[in-house]
Amino acid sequence: GRRRLPDGDEPSPGPAVASPQRKGQWRGEEYVVDLHQKVKIECVVADTPTEDVVEAIKEGAYTGEKGDGKIFVLPVSDAVQIRTGETGTDAV
């Protein structure tokens, strides 16, 4: 089946995290910058068509807001599982 990313209404496995803030001072004036939380998704697939994976990520990550993100599709020439030494698709 097709997997999806959780939306904001579902319970998270980890503790709730507030958006980080950076405080600073410039020319004697203090300021606070509210930063947005970001999520980085990386996946390597061998048996699933790239278009299906891209579509699933787009559907799961879409909010309609600025900053929904970008998807980069890159070839992977090899993979190595450090612990076992497996390579290629066995390492994935």
CA distances for 75 relative to 61, 82, 92, angstroms: 22, 20, 14
Given this model, what pLDDT does residue 10 score? 47
| pLDDT tens, the chain, 92 aa long | 455 555 544 444 444 555 667 788 888 888 888 777 788 889 888 878 999 999 999 999 999 988 889 999 999 999 999 999 999 988 88
What is the dihedral angle through the alpha carbons of 58, 41, 23, 19, rounded to the nearest 10 degrees? 60
Q: Look up tokens 């993100």; give the residue.
A: 69
Q: What's the domain count of the chain? A: 1
CATH code, 27? 3.30.70.120
Which residue intervals of the chain are DSSP H helices? 50-61
In a domain, 12, yes or no: no
What domain range is 85 assigned to? 21-91
In a domain, 32, yes or no: yes
